[in-house]
Structure 1
């Protein structure tokens, strides 16, 4: 179905479209967007949402979406009224409480879509449409959204690139929710191409079936449970000590990819590539790992090659000498993972909320996890994945994220938002980068009837010089390198190094399979 056929969502039994303004849960005294109005029951911002407004944590989430057709603007506007605008966070202002300074509340307002949908004029016949989109998103990271309106907007770029007929850029302030929840909300606005009435299918972890055991089996199960609990306590204790040391004095090694102080205020360059998800799954199956293990492993491998080249350039060596190992010994490089501790809302619940005006739990409840990365030149590419798997398996047996969230809550209650923000900022700036991997739909989907070519999420405003995000979609995986150009002036090379690392890892799996086949024959 093409967007021009009018992919309009309606409630059953409801005819025609409503006006392009929504006044959900408004009283008669409220005015248009920007005035604030008065709500009968103002909901306060969560501590995490407030922290994302601190000058050193003013973070925005970017979702770059490639479309296989040009974007039909009237269709987008019409459908937003019946979906996204029904979410209270997308139709509310964040207004400071008159009685309590520093406290902000969610105040419902009328939404004027003309302020939220930006369609720039694009000169036809430009030399490099891909570069234009890249520059546009980079320039977007130099700006913020005024608090006189709900903190989100959509930029429609009807320009044909190498992998899409048009590009949409969603920009959402992190105070509206965590990345996982916001991506789920956007996906709840989509439908399967093969079945326009069906929501996308997101893979879920299969729970292991409990088998009936005899007396020996129960004793063995009890012993395994006791060992698991001891490992949980030990790992959590070690992670707590590392968290404290990182806050107090333990910094990552200085490296070409570690951002300088104040890097959170600098604009970002967003560069993304799409690879085969089947290749990643092949490596996953061969090593009895997970997709997350594989993408973290190839990221480590790509970073190792990139840093080796950067160190060679720094030392002003000849091109031939760059083939050798130029990495310093015992380099400490860690990534911060932001873990959503709030139970997942789920697309089904979000779609039902937008359809039936039901309530869902929402917000930021985020803990931090430290992930040490292997930076070394390995002769066997599979070693990077094995090391990543060992790290992730250990982190799964730790309460680190819950502890770091609890510490931030205690500091917030005892010393205020400034102290909590300073603690989180210090912890993050003592690490090098941020990494995430989001699971996407299993099948191709359309956004209000516009078939999607790829999904590419990222962030700006975080105190890191580098962030790497992976996003799966159908049989593809898109990864996004968002980087401060002062720290990483050549993010395209880093992307190429990650792609090369995946190719070498896949080749190593194939070679291992051939070797086993030869041996067995």
Structure 2
């Protein structure tokens, strides 16, 4: 994304690079209440213990997933050979201001809100599919209508494990001025679970999303996956690393991504960009979800396998409706 934006300029000032928020995913700083050094030391020790424990649990989960631990079969799960089939890409815009309203009211980050909205949207979609399937068997209708409480649905999420080089640094590098910035990505990936259930309080989706995101932030899982992949490539070759990556993707349900974009309209070689809608294909999953911000919009982009998800536009509606319901639940509780 930094490379793409380094090739663009502001529509209002053709000589200026785009402006990207630097605190997109940071939570507002909490007021400091503990000033004593002993309490600070205890807090650091507690944080280290949590980081160590979370990393250990994530490494065990990662290893188990690469060997045998699979997600629960759902209407979103891809079948064998899904990576060889074409993908259908659809997208829809929602208001970034609505997401920011939820963020401010819940004292969390935009990423936390998007995790909650995704959980709510997937729950709505799977509930509908469950009801449709129940129509074929009226005898077990009540039993089938409710989603299983132990449903396991996880996504693979790529994580940048170094500070982003920045748009200005890449622009200078393309002009031939070497300031130490290097090309390429330095990424690991984590397994991000989505809880599927029907909440009476819509804000519970955001609360659970925040808890899941906080849990993953206090872990070195991304660094572990990067280092382990690097070690496998050196010792066993690229084919072994690719096979491991393939198994991880086939044992999970979807891929998830959230990227921050410019806050103003930009031009690409004099051509204004109406929207940004990134996506991907060729991986062994039937569903890929991208969230991409641009100006005052958030674009939801889905890449789906038509044979698995025949109604992707309905899934987009479920995401938009989930955000609307969560946004409308704020005034009564703020």
What is the CA–CA distance in structure 1 between the aligned matches of 2:294 and 2:39, rounded to whole Å? 41
* Residue in 2 that maps onto 1:331: 151
* Residue in 2 that maps onto 1:488: 309
Q: CA deviation at 1:356?
A: 3.4
Alignment of 1:434-473 (within 5 A): 434-473=255-294
* Residue in 2 that maps onto 1:345: 165
What is the CA–CA distance in structure 1 between the aligned matches of 2:86 and 2:27, rounded to whole Å? 43
What is the CA–CA distance in structure 2 between the aligned matches of 1:329 and 1:221, rounded to whole Å? 40
What is the CA–CA distance in structure 2 between the aligned matches of 1:278 and 1:430, rounded to whole Å? 35
Of residues 227, 240, 250 in structure 1, which corresponds to 2:59? 240
Q: CA deviation at 1:479?
A: 0.9
What is the CA–CA distance in structure 2 between the aligned matches of 1:497 and 1:424, rounded to whole Å? 30
What is the CA–CA distance in structure 2 between the aligned matches of 1:326 and 1:421, rounded to whole Å? 38
* Residue in 1 that maps onto 2:11: 193
Secondary structure, aligned partner of 1:378: coil
| 2:220 is the counterpart of 1:399 | yes
What is the CA–CA distance in structure 2 between the aligned matches of 1:305 and 1:261, rounded to whole Å? 26
Q: Which structure exhibits the higher relative contact order, with contacts defined as CA atoms closer than 8 Å and separated by 6 or more residues?
A: 2
| 2:88 is the counterpart of 1:266 | no
Q: 1:318 to 1:454 in 2, by over 3 A?
A: farther
* Residue in 2 that maps onto 1:389: 210
Secondary structure, aligned partner of 2:323: helix
* Residue in 2 that maps onto 1:257: 76
| 2:43 is the counterpart of 1:224 | yes
- For residues 455-503 of structure 1, what are the alpha-carbon distances to aligned partners after superposition, in whole Å with 9 as ceiling and x for unaligned? 1111011111101000001111101011111111110000000000000
Of residues 345, 354, 359 in structure 1, which corresponds to 2:174? 354
Q: CA deviation at 1:444?
A: 1.6
Alignment coverage as a number of residue pairs: 328
In the alignment, structure 1 segments of 5+ residues that lack a partner are 1-182, 514-521
What is the CA–CA distance in structure 2 between the aligned matches of 1:243 and 1:194, rounded to whole Å? 47
What is the CA–CA distance in structure 1 between the aligned matches of 2:134 and 2:183, rounded to whole Å? 50
Secondary structure, aligned partner of 2:4: helix
What is the CA–CA distance in structure 2 between the aligned matches of 1:263 and 1:363, rounded to whole Å? 28
Preserved contact between residue 309 and residue 326 of structure 1 (Cα < 8 Å): no
What is the CA–CA distance in structure 1 between the aligned matches of 2:274 and 2:197, rounded to whole Å? 35
Preserved contact between residue 335 and residue 371 of structure 1 (Cα < 8 Å): yes
TM-score, structure 2 normalization = 0.92
Q: CA deviation at 1:251?
A: 0.5
TM-score, structure 1 normalization = 0.60
State the Cα RMSD in Å: 2.4
Preserved contact between residue 27 and residue 107 of structure 2 (Cα < 8 Å): no
* Residue in 2 that maps onto 1:277: 96
Q: 1:474 to 1:327 in 2, by over 3 A?
A: same
Preserved contact between residue 277 and residue 292 of structure 2 (Cα < 8 Å): yes
Q: CA deviation at 1:357?
A: 5.2
Secondary structure, aligned partner of 2:182: coil
Q: CA deviation at 1:213?
A: 10
Q: CA deviation at 1:212?
A: 11
Q: CA deviation at 1:308?
A: 0.9
Secondary structure, aligned partner of 2:16: coil
- For residues 332-367 of structure 1, what are the alpha-carbon distances to aligned partners after superposition, in whole Å with 9 as ceiling and x for unaligned? 000110112244221101111223354731223321
What is the CA–CA distance in structure 2 between the aligned matches of 1:234 and 1:410, rounded to whole Å? 23
In the alignment, structure 2 segments of 5+ residues that lack a partner are none
What is the CA–CA distance in structure 2 between the aligned matches of 1:432 and 1:253, rounded to whole Å? 9
What is the CA–CA distance in structure 2 between the aligned matches of 1:315 and 1:212, rounded to whole Å? 53
What is the CA–CA distance in structure 2 between the aligned matches of 1:194 and 1:374, rounded to whole Å? 43
Of residues 182, 190, 194 in structure 2, which corresponds to 1:369? 190
Q: CA deviation at 1:194?
A: 2.1
What is the CA–CA distance in structure 2 between the aligned matches of 1:207 and 1:265, rounded to whole Å? 40
Of residues 417, 424, 427 in structure 1, which corresponds to 2:245? 424
Preserved contact between residue 203 and residue 442 of structure 1 (Cα < 8 Å): yes
